[in-house]
């Protein structure tokens, strides 16, 4: 049991993202994806509102996804060059599995939207952890596509928004870790204010 716990902690300590454009396939199998998504949905959520959803884009739907991106780009940036359009082709076809994380807060509810959005972020984090624990590398990106009204309508109902595109595949080479904030800069013991 202790060994299990220590390997679980090592797993948490070793998670890092990969850049989606650098991932290689294959991504998780259908069974692995179901498990990753189920873990993603096992997320704290004040009020049991499930204020998030996952939309998977199958590999044979990548061309259709590209059409959405290309149309959005043309509409929102009439000056877009061939190089910009090529980038959308590449993005739509990055290797691995693709999950679109949707924030779906319930409006006018006693649970503040802020808390519902926090839950969405936690669901995204859980997906990253589950992907890592399954032996994959994941990368969460937003960029203009997540904020585009045209892209949003392809995935979201009214009041929802895209929280990110999460690609899950393998790293082509060993990932370098990024600098982490020294704990002392992000954590301190509370001192009661002088009254």
Among 25, 44, 143, 159, which residue interacts with ligand FMN (rule: CB under 6 A)?
143
Q: Which stretch binds ligand FMN (CB under 6 A): 4-12, 55-63, 81-89, 138-146?
A: 138-146
Q: Is 139 in the site for ligand FMN (CB under 6 A)?
A: yes
Say how many C-beta atoms besides its own lie within 10 A of residue 113's C-beta: 15
Got the DSSP string for 101-124?
EEE-PPTT-SS-HHHHHHHHHHHH
Residue 133 interacts with ligand FMN (CB under 6 A): yes or no = no
Could you tell me if 155 and 76 are in contact, meaning their C-beta atoms sit under 8 angstroms apart?
no
Q: Is 161 in the site for ligand FMN (CB under 6 A)?
A: no
| List of residues 6+ apart from 35 with CB closer than 8 A | 130, 134
**Which position has the token pair 């895209």?**
162
Residue of 48, 110, 173, 178 that binds ligand FMN (CB under 6 A): 178
> Residue 16, interface with ligand FMN (CB under 6 A)?
yes
Q: Does 48 bind ligand FMN (CB under 6 A)?
A: no
Task: Give the number of other CB atoms < 10 A from CB of residue 77.
Answer: 12
> What is the smallest separation between the CB atom of 101 and ligand FMN, expressed in angstroms?
9
Report CA torsion sign: 100, 101, 102, 104: positive
Residue 57 host element (H or E): strand 52-57
**Closer residue to ligand FMN in complex, CB, 29/77:** 77
Residue (65 or 140) nearer to ligand FMN, CB: 140
Which residue sits closest to ligand FMN, CB atoms considered? 17
- Alpha carbon distance 140, 36 (integer Å): 15
- What is the smallest separation between the CB atom of 128 and ligand FMN, expressed in angstroms? 6
Asked whether position 40 contacts ligand FMN by CB under 6 A, the answer is: no
C-alpha span between 94 and 8 (Å, rounded): 29
Query: CB-wise, 5 or 178, nearer to ligand FMN?
Result: 178
Which residues contact ligand FMN by CB under 6 A? 16-17, 139-143, 164, 178
């Amino acid at each position: 049991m202790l060994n299990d716990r220590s390997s679980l902690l090592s797993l948490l300590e070793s998670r890092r993202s990969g850049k989606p454009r650098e991932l290689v396939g294959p991504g998780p199998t259908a069974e692995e994806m179901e498990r990753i998504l189920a873990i993603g949905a096992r997320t704290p959520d004040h009020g049991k509102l499930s204020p998030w959803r996952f939309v998977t884009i199958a590999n044979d739907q990548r061309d259709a996804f590209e059409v959405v991106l290309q149309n959005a780009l043309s509409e929102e940036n009439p000056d877009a060059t061939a190089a910009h359009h090529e980038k959308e082709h590449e993005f739509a076809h990055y290797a691995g599995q693709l999950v679109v994380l949707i924030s779906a807060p319930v409006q006018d509810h006693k649970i503040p939207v802020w808390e519902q959005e926090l839950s969405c972020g936690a669901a995204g984090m859980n997906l990253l952890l589950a992907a890592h624990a399954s032996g994959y590398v994941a990368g969460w990106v937003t960029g203009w596509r997540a904020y585009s009204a045209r892209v949003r309508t392809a995935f979201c109902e009214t009041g929802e928004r895209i929280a990110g595109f999460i690609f899950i595949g393998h790293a082509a080479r060993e990932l370098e870790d990024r600098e982490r904030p020294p704990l002392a800069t992000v954590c301190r013991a509370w001192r009661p204010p002088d009254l």
